[in-house]
Structure 1
């Protein structure tokens, strides 16, 4: 007896996504009726941004970044959760950098 596989249904948009490159190192995704997102190349890699301007990550390849932008459009809840997680991690890192360590000299002791 062969195992049964359950393939979840995904409500995919019915519009075709097209990519254009209006400038060097910039790729824009859209449908006939909507802006989907964009990818721009930086010194860190390929930066994806969703339709609302939220970062969807820095990727090693253009294809990975394009996939992330598309995924953010198709699965906006998952994209928002990932963005919120990255935002929270960045906030925590910023607070950590601003908190003086116990080994650091007090500011009034330096003067």
Structure 2
């Protein structure tokens, strides 16, 4: 999470290149952590938390397909309902981003 925190710092200071680099690194580490856990009920809520976080990071660095896949994977698990609702919120953001890309109406993170 320190890379995700660093990414937010760089974004707030207008350094998009370092924001993207730190976000991408944080995403890679989250995905690696997910890979270390089984998709069993005994791995919850950690498994769903990691997938939600990875999906959010993927969305931030505009890896829309990865964000959708990670969120969908989280919904297949056994996470608590409140956490699954948060994952559904991430998925809604993914679909909004896809819609804006298809329409050619890009936006900044502050617009939504």
State the TM-score, normalized to the length of structure 1. 0.28
Greater strand fraction, Structure 1 or Structure 2: 1
Where is the helix percentage greater, Structure 1 or Structure 2? 2
Structure with higher Rg: it is 1
